[in-house]
Amino acid sequence: MAEKAIGKITNYFGRIGVAVVELTEEPLRVGDNIRIKGHTTDLEMQVASLQIEHEEVDEVKVGESGGLKVSDVVKRNDIVYKVTE
């Protein structure tokens, strides 16, 4: 499985389990498989929901930031990788 860095986490809201991801390389879509890695983070998951300004969206484009529901704690500056087979 190949991984490509596509962005980073810029904020995390622990009470609601949502991370803000800023995309710099590729768009992120619902259904994509991703891996979030950092000093203490290593989380693999499938994107279940994305939001921009509290609106559900199917895709967050390069240069945009969007809310990503995560299943575990992530931290600012963790790198987001898109996982492909």
Single-letter residue type at 21 = V
Collapsing DSSP states into helix, strand and coil, what is residue 47?
coil
pLDDT classification of 85: cutoffs 50, 70, 90: confident
> What's the pTM value of the predicted model, to 2 decimals?
0.94
Instruction: Give the tens place of pLDDT for each residue, 19-74.
Output: 999 999 999 999 999 999 999 999 999 999 999 999 999 999 999 999 999 999 99
**Residue 69's pLDDT is what?**
95
Q: How do strand 33-37 and strand 18-23 relate by DSSP bridges? A: unpaired
For domain 2-84, the CATH class is: mainly beta
Q: Is the pLDDT of residue 1 over 90?
A: no
Domain ranges of the chain: 2-84
**DSSP element (H, E) containing 36:** strand 33-37
pLDDT classification of 5: cutoffs 50, 70, 90: very high
Q: Is the pLDDT of residue 13 over 90?
A: yes
